[in-house]
Amino acid sequence: MDFSIKPIDPKTGLAGIKTGCIAVGVFEDKKLSQAAKELDRKGDISAALKSGDITGKAGTTLLLRATAGVAAERILLVGLGKDEPITEKNFVSAVQATARVFASLGAADGAIALPLEDVKARDAAWSACAAVLAMRDASYRFDSTKSKKEPAQGGVRKVTFLASGAGASAAKAATAQATAIANGMDLTRDLGNLPSNICTPTYLANTAKKLAKDFGFGIEVLERKQIEALKMGSFLSVTKGSEEPPKFIVLKHMGGKGKDAPTVLVGKGITFDTGGISLKPGANMDEMKYDMCGAASVLGTFRAIGEMGLKLNVIGVIPTCENMPSGRASKPGDIVTSMSGQTIEILNTDAEGRLILCDALTYVERFKPAAVVDIATLTGACVTALGHHNTGLFTRHDDAHDELADELLTAGKATGDTAWRMPIEDAYQEQLKSNFADMANIGGPPGGSITAACFLERYTKKYTWAHLDIAGTAWKSGAAKGATGRPVPLLTTFLLNRANGKKAA
Ligand code: BES
Ligand code: MN
Ligand code: ZN
């Protein structure tokens, strides 16, 4: 899908634009947007509103064909709701509805004349970004594992945003950024949707190598021997039951100044989580192929920042392996020594994400990071706490960490890829006490996502750190089962803001 921006020619106006379909907004109470007024040459749009065929409620649509005095073959009326300026939520519903109609039209090109500059507290750049993300989301397909590919999709392939003077150049840059984000999300979704017999740790490593080649990243893939030499006893305890070799991937995008401390992303890459000897129940176990979505979001974010040529030093680190039961697998009660030297009693082999992440979090100390953000499908408890809308955000509570948390929350809000802050407190750390080791790997049922974060916190004392639990947001279950591409928009926007020297707003 192709996006471009076109300033409106004041001579011919909107009515002179030749396109398969032009989308314009209408409000509730039969009110026309400025663009709709311009196209209402012979009163066709007013008549449609009057007839009650479209209410103007956000996300409603009505397609009009061959309207008198208008060059476009079709006009799509799109409801923007009641409020002016338009609320963010209503604008997003409107672009999602536009995307749905465009996807099934018998036209190959379309134009969007929605009021990009009239969204409350947002600018044309924000609106263009939201529209591109909605369009790309609606056109995503995954059929690489079907023998018969879905027939080549009809629908609009070329989208032009019609913007007025000042908005046009801001929208242009935003469209390019949003396209890079969407390309990153597509990669993250593809990797998530691939089954674990294809998307193995080796497959993730090869994907990282390909990205490095395409975008000029530095890359290192550590093999089992090197992982052993680093004494990552905790990571190695998870891979023990598996026949697939583990990998430890390090990607470097050094787009900033040489001496600038890097921002580090660490992604959980469990390509399948059976639970190990603490075996998971059978129902829905297939969804544990998504347990590498943290890793996939790091790769997707690198795809995006590579395409953007982001001026920031960013390092991505991915510990990846399978969590399998076998005669060689870790057993409940086993005690392992992490790279940090701290010992861990594995009371439940299904709490494996923290076991691979803790060694990666120790490893990244060597980069003297400006900040470290880990991303993980870490706990079912996070889904219970926050559902599928918000990613769980955890940090310590001091000024530096409050600032990092605000940066991440702001980036999430800007892209609709939202997070919600959760606590880390000593009171919860108590739950990780072990009689036999420095800590246990589980803290019991109460506050399960918090005790998981508290476990990780013990390995992050040397830098500023945040943890994103994406168990509820990385994929959808049910009829629309599939990876969402989250939190690539949040992460990429967070890095973009850092590159622009913008801290949290
Ligand atoms: N990958 C799972 C977390 C998960 C579960 C994500 C369900 C999405 C949906 C993780 O490795 C896990 O199994 N966590 C356990 C932890 C427990 C044993 C303390 C969980 O959440 O049940
Ligand atoms: Mn698990
Ligand atoms: Zn897991």
Burial 97-135 (b: 16+ CB within 10 A, else e): bbbebbbebebebbbbbbbbbbbeebbbbbbbbbbbbbb
Specify the pLDDT at position 149. 85
- Coil, strand, or helix at residue 346? strand
Are 280 and 356 in the same domain? yes
Which atom of ligand 1 approaches the CA of 280 most closely? 13
Are 136 and 229 in the same domain? no
Confirm whether 247 is domain-assigned: yes
Q: Report how far ligand 1's centroid is from the alpha carbon of 280 (Å).
A: 9
pLDDT tens-place string over residues 94-122: 999 999 999 999 999 999 999 999 999 99
DSSP designation for 422: E
Q: What is the spatial distance between Cα 439 and Cα 479, in angstroms, rounded to a whole number? A: 40
Are 447 and 351 in the same domain? yes
The ligand minimizing its distance to the Cα of 348 is: 1
Q: Which value, to the nearest 10 degrees, does the dihedral of the CA atoms of residues 139, 143, 147, 149 take? A: 10
DSSP designation for 480: G
CB 22 within 8 A of CB 161: no
Residue 166, pLDDT > 80, answer no
Give the structural domain span for 379. 186-499
For residue 16, what are the contacts with CB-CB under 8 A and spacing of at least 6? Answer: 9, 71
- Residue whose CA lies nearest to ligand 1 atom number 3: 379
The ligand minimizing its distance to the Cα of 274 is: 2
Are 112 and 233 in the same domain? no
Please tell me the chain's helix, strand, coil percentages from 3-state DSSP, rounded to the nearest 5: 40, 20, 40
Which atom of ligand 1 approaches the CA of 380 most closely? 21
Confirm whether 175 is domain-assigned: no
Confirm whether 505 is domain-assigned: no
Tokens of 326: 């076998």
pLDDT tens-place string over residues 304-338: 999 999 999 999 999 999 999 999 999 999 999 99
The per-residue pLDDT of the chain, averaged, comes to 96
Q: Report how far ligand 3's centroid is from the alpha carbon of 379 (Å).
A: 7
Specify the pLDDT at position 503. 61
Give the pocket of ligand 1 (CB within 6 Å).
273, 291, 348, 350-353, 377-381, 383, 442, 448, 471
Q: Report how far ligand 1's centroid is from the alpha carbon of 384 (Å).
A: 11
β-bridge pairing 158-163 and 2-7: parallel
Are 372 and 482 in the same domain? yes
Are 131 and 224 in the same domain? no
Are 128 and 230 in the same domain? no
Tokens of 475: 């994929």
Are 127 and 192 in the same domain? no
Residue of 305, 296, 184, 317 lying closest to 256 (CA atoms) = 305
Query: Which of 38-42, 155-159, 278-282, 501-505 shows the lowest mean pLDDT across its residues?
Result: 501-505
CB 137 within 8 A of CB 99: yes
Total structural domains within the chain: 2
The ligand minimizing its distance to the Cα of 451 is: 1
CATH of the domain at 136: 3.40.220.10
Question: Among residues 354, 396, 486, 498, which one is catalytic?
Answer: 354
The ligand minimizing its distance to the Cα of 287 is: 1
| Kind and range of the H or E run holding 313 | strand 313-323
Which atom of ligand 1 approaches the CA of 275 most closely? 13
Catalytic residue check, 354: yes
Q: Where does a domain end: 161, 195, 213?
A: 161
**Taking the complete model, does pTM exceed 0.85, yes or no?**
yes
Q: What is the spatial distance between Cα 380 and Cα 177, in angstroms, rounded to a whole number? A: 33
Are 88 and 212 in the same domain? no
β-bridge pairing 371-376 and 263-267: parallel
Q: Is residue 28 packed enough to be buried (19+ CB in 10 Å), middle (13-18) or exposed (0-12)?
A: middle
Q: Is 69 left (phi over 0), alpha (psi -120 to 50) or beta?
A: left
Specify the pLDDT at position 164. 77
Question: Among residues 31, 82, 280, 476, which one is catalytic?
Answer: 280
The contacts found for 277-282 with CB under 8 angstroms, 24 or more apart, are: 277/241, 277/325, 277/329, 277/330, 277/331, 277/332, 277/349, 278/332, 278/348, 278/349, 278/350, 279/325, 279/350, 280/350
Are 130 and 211 in the same domain? no
Task: For a ligand 1 pocket test, name from 277, 379, 431, 473 the mutation site with the most ligand atoms within 8 angstroms of its C-beta.
Answer: 379
Catalytic residue check, 210: no
- Coil, strand, or helix at residue 458? coil
Confirm whether 171 is domain-assigned: no
Greatest C-alpha distance within the chain: 82
Task: Report in angstroms the alpha-carbon separations of 65 from 77, 191, 421.
Answer: 11, 40, 48
For residue 283, what are the contacts with CB-CB under 8 A and spacing of at least 6? Answer: none
Task: For a ligand 1 pocket test, name from 290, 350, 449 the mutation site with the most ligand atoms within 8 angstroms of its C-beta.
Answer: 350
Q: What is the spatial distance between Cα 479 and Cα 463, in angstroms, rounded to a whole number? A: 42
Q: Could you give the percent of the chain with pLDDT greater than 90?
A: 94
Confirm whether 131 is domain-assigned: yes
Q: Report how far ligand 2's centroid is from the alpha carbon of 39 (Å).
A: 56
Residue of 414, 18, 419 lying closest to 181 (CA atoms) = 414
Q: What is the spatial distance between Cα 250 and Cα 265, in angstroms, rounded to a whole number? A: 10
Residue 505, pLDDT > 50, answer no
Are 416 and 298 in the same domain? yes
Q: Where does a domain end: 161, 194, 229?
A: 161
Q: Which residues have a beta carbon within 5 Å of ligand 2, which is an ion?
A: 273, 350, 352
Q: Where does a domain end: 161, 195, 228?
A: 161
pLDDT tens-place string over residues 204-241: 999 999 999 999 999 999 999 999 999 999 999 999 99
DSSP alpha helix (H) spans, 198-264: 201-215, 224-229, 233-239
Half-sphere exposure of 209 (CA within 13 A, CB side): 11
pLDDT tens-place string over residues 465-498: 999 999 999 999 999 999 999 999 999 999 999 9
The radius of gyration of the chain from alpha carbons, rounded to an integer in Å, stands at: 25
Cis preceding linkage at 115, omega within 30: no
Specify the pLDDT at position 67. 87
CATH of the domain at 235: 3.40.630.10
pLDDT tens-place string over residues 8-47: 888 889 999 999 999 999 999 999 999 999 999 999 999 9
CB 429 within 8 A of CB 485: no
Q: Report how far ligand 3's centroid is from the alpha carbon of 446 (Å).
A: 18
pLDDT tens-place string over residues 134-155: 999 999 999 999 999 877 678 9
- Residue whose CA lies nearest to ligand 1 atom number 22: 380
CB 248 within 8 A of CB 318: yes
Task: Report, as an integer, the average pLDDT of 276-291.
Answer: 98
Confirm whether 29 is domain-assigned: yes
Specify the pLDDT at position 188. 99
- Coil, strand, or helix at residue 478? helix
Confirm whether 169 is domain-assigned: no
Could you tell me the pLDDT band of residue 504, with boundaries at 50, 70 and 90?
Answer: low
Q: Report how far ligand 1's centroid is from the alpha carbon of 275 (Å).
A: 8
Query: In this structure, how many other beta carbons lie within 10 angstroms of the beta carbon of residue 204?
Result: 25
Residue 455, pLDDT > 70, answer yes
Residue 165, pLDDT > 80, answer no
Confirm whether 449 is domain-assigned: yes
Q: Report how far ligand 2's centroid is from the alpha carbon of 196 (Å).
A: 15
Q: What is the spatial distance between Cα 420 and Cα 409, in angstroms, rounded to a whole number? A: 7
Are 391 and 302 in the same domain? yes
